[in-house]
C-alpha cells in the first residue's frame, strides 16, 4: 500500500521560555487581534489536504503529561466496515487521515516562537514519544533551523511524522494498527522540547533533563457513531424553527465526554429526509449544512435554528457530532416555514402568548383549547374572550418590545399550565357544577385554616 501522511498543523502555538518554554499560549492570528485564545489543528492525508480541527485543553496548560493539550483525529480505515468518510464533517473527506494494518503516517507541523535567552549554543527543536512509560527521541521532517542565542524565530515548517515515530520505537503503534477496521482507538503522548545537546533518533531521555517543553496527546479513532436523533416536533417562529428532539442517549461513540456539537441540515427538497442517512449521503442529495453549533450538544431537548428566511420552507434534519468530527446518522427530517411575528399573531389568534413565546409552541395550543372547549361555553368565559380580543393585539405589540416581558409571559403560562390542566381533567369527569363546588369547599377549608391560625396566634400573644 502506498504510504499516506496524516498531517496535523498547529498554526498558532507560542512557546515563551527560558531554554524552551515557561508558558504556552495558543492564539488566533487574525489580522485585527491576537487577544482571543483559539486552539486549532489541521489534519489531512498529506500536506496538500490539510483541514482544520480543534484542540482541547485538558485540566492544565500542556506543561505536564497529566494535563496535555488534546487533539482528536478522525481516521479512515480502508479494510471494510463503515466508511468513515461518510460520517466525518471535514470539508474534504477524501483527504482525511488513513490507517491500515501496516501503515500509519501522522505528520504534525508547528508554527512556534522560541526564545533562546539562556543557552550559549543554538537550540534545536526535538520531539519524543512515550512508549511503555518512557520517552524516545523521534525524527522531525525537514530538520528545523537552530535558534541562536537571544533570537526569536517562528518555525513554520517544523514537521513531525507519526509513522516514522512508530517505526523508530517498536511496539508503540502496534495496538492501534493491529485492531480491526472500525474498532481502532488509541491515545499517543508526544513531548516537544528544544535542546543544545546532540541527541540521536531512538535515544531514551529523562524529562527531568529537558524541562519547559509542551505535551500533546493525540487521540486517533476510526470508530463512527451509530444511531440517530429523533425530531419529535417542529414549531415555527419569527426567523426561527424550534426542534423538540430526543434519542441522543442511544447513540454510541457520543457519550458526555465525546459529545461536542449539534449539526443542522436542510435537505432543500422536501421528501429526501424520510429515512436516516449519513452526512455524506445527505450532501450528495443536495442537502446543505445550516449550522454546526459547538455551544449546544445535548442528547435531547429543544433547539432553536435561527437566522432563517421567513416564508421559506426548510426540510430540517439534525445530528450530534463528537470530538473526533464524526457525525451520527441524520434524523428523519421535518418541514416548516418560519413566519414573521405579525403573521404568527394573526394565525394563532393567541396574541399575548404568541408574543411571549414567538413561536407556535404546544403550550399555546393548550390555552387555545382551554378557550374553545371551556371559556367559550359560558357567558363569563365569552366576556373574557371578548376583552382579550379587544385589548390583546395592542398588548402583544407592547410585549414584543421587551424581552423581560416575554419572559414573564412564558413563566406565567407555564406556571398556570398544570393547575388549569387539573381543573379541566376534573371538569371533564365530574362536571362544571361539581368542580366549582369542590373548589369552593377547598377554598373555604384553606380560608378556615388561615383564620384559625391567626386566632390562635392572637390568643397566645
In the chain, pLDDT over 90 holds for what percent of residues?
A: 24
Helices (H), 226-314: 279-284
For 198-249, the pLDDT digits (tens) are 899 999 999 999 887 888 898 999 999 999 999 998 887 777 788 989 999 9
Examine the pLDDT at 106 and tell me if it is beyond 60: yes
CA–CA distance, 204 with 137 (Å, rounded to integer): 6
318 touches 262 (CB < 8 A): yes
Superfamily of domain 230-336: Immunoglobulins (2.60.40.10)
Examine the pLDDT at 392 and tell me if it is beyond 90: no
164 touches 143 (CB < 8 A): no
Position 199 scores a pLDDT of 92
Position 95 scores a pLDDT of 84
Which carries the bigger pLDDT value, residue 181 or residue 137?
A: 137
Per-domain residue ranges of the chain: 6-221, 230-336, 341-430
Position 264 scores a pLDDT of 94
Q: What is the distance in angstroms between the CA of the first residue and the CA of the last residue of the chain?
A: 95
CA–CA distance, 206 with 430 (Å, rounded to integer): 82
Examine the pLDDT at 438 and tell me if it is beyond 90: no
Q: Per the structure block, which three cell numbers stand in for 33? A: 487581534
pLDDT band at 427; cut points 50, 70, 90: low
Position 89 scores a pLDDT of 93
What's the average model confidence in pLDDT over 64-82? 85
Half-sphere exposure of 87 (CA within 13 A, CB side): 29
Position 333 scores a pLDDT of 93
CA–CA distance, 209 with 245 (Å, rounded to integer): 54
Position 149 scores a pLDDT of 66
Examine the pLDDT at 314 and tell me if it is beyond 90: yes
Which carries the bigger pLDDT value, residue 282 or residue 28?
A: 282
Amino acid at each position: 500500500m502506498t504510504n499516506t501522511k496524516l498531517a496535523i498543523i498547529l498554526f498558532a502555538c507560542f512557546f515563551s521560555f527560558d531554554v524552551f518554554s515557561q508558558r504556552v499560549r495558543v492564539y488566533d492570528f487574525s489580522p485585527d487581534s491576537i487577544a482571543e485564545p483559539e486552539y486549532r489543528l489541521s489534519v489531512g492525508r498529506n500536506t496538500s489536504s490539510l483541514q482544520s480541527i480543534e484542540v482541547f485543553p485538558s485540566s492544565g496548560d500542556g506543561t505536564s503529561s497529566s494535563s496535555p493539550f488534546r487533539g482528536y483525529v478522525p481516521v479512515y480505515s480502508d479494510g471494510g466496515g463503515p466508511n468513515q468518510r461518510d460520517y466525518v464533517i471535514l470539508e474534504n473527506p477524501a483527504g482525511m487521515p488513513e490507517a491500515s494494518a501496516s501503515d500509519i503516517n501522522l505528520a504534525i507541523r508547528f508554527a512556534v516562537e522560541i526564545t533562546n535567552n539562556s543557552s550559549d549554543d543554538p537550540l534545536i527543536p526535538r520531539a519524543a514519544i512515550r512508549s511503555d512509560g518512557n520517552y524516545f527521541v523521534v525524527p522531525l521532517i525537514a530538520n528545523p533551523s537552530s535558534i541562536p542565542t537571544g533570537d526569536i524565530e517562528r518555525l513554520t515548517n517544523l514537521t513531525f511524522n507519526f509513522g516514522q515515530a512508530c517505526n523508530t520505537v517498536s511496539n508503540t503503534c502496534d495496538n492501534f494498527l493491529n485492531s480491526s477496521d472500525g474498532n481502532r482507538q488509541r491515545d499517543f503522548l508526544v513531548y516537544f522540547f528544544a535542546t543544545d545537546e546532540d541527541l540521536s533518533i531512538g535515544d531514551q531521555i529523562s524529562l527531568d533533563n529537558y524541562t519547559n517543553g509542551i505535551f500533546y496527546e493525540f487521540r486517533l479513532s476510526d470508530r463512527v457513531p451509530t444511531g440517530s436523533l429523533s425530531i419529535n416536533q417542529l414549531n415555527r417562529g419569527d426567523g426561527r424553527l424550534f426542534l423538540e428532539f430526543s434519542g441522543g442517549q442511544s447513540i454510541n461513540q457520543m457519550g458526555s465526554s465525546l459529545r461536542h456539537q449539534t449539526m443542522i441540515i436542510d435537505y432543500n427538497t422536501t421528501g429526501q429526509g424520510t429515512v436516516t442517512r449519513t452526512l455524506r449521503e445527505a450532501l450528495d442529495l443536495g442537502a446543505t449544512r445550516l449550522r454546526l453549533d459547538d455551544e449546544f450538544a445535548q442528547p435531547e431537548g429543544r433547539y432553536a435554528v435561527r437566522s432563517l428566511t421567513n416564508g421559506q420552507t426548510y426540510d430540517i434534519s439534525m445530528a450530534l457530532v463528537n470530538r473526533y468530527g464524526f457525525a451520527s446518522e441524520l434524523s428523519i427530517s421535518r418541514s416548516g416555514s418560519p413566519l414573521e411575528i405579525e403573521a404568527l399573531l394573526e394565525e394563532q389568534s393567541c396574541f399575548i402568548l404568541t408574543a411571549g413565546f414567538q413561536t407556535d409552541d404546544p403550550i399555546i395550543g393548550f390555552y387555545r383549547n382551554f378557550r374553545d372547549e371551556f371559556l367559550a361555553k359560558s357567558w363569563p368565559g365569552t366576556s373574557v374572550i371578548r376583552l382579550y380580543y379587544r385589548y390583546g393585539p395592542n398588548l402583544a405589540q407592547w410585549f414584543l418590545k421587551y424581552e423581560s416581558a416575554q419572559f414573564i409571559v412564558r413563566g406565567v403560562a407555564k406556571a398556570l399550565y398544570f393547575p388549569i390542566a387539573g381543573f379541566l381533567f376534573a371538569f371533564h369527569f365530574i362536571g362544571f357544577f361539581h368542580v366549582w363546588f369542590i373548589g369552593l369547599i377547598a377554598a373555604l377549608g384553606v380560608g378556615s385554616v388561615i383564620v384559625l391560625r391567626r386566632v390562635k396566634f392572637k390568643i397566645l400573644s
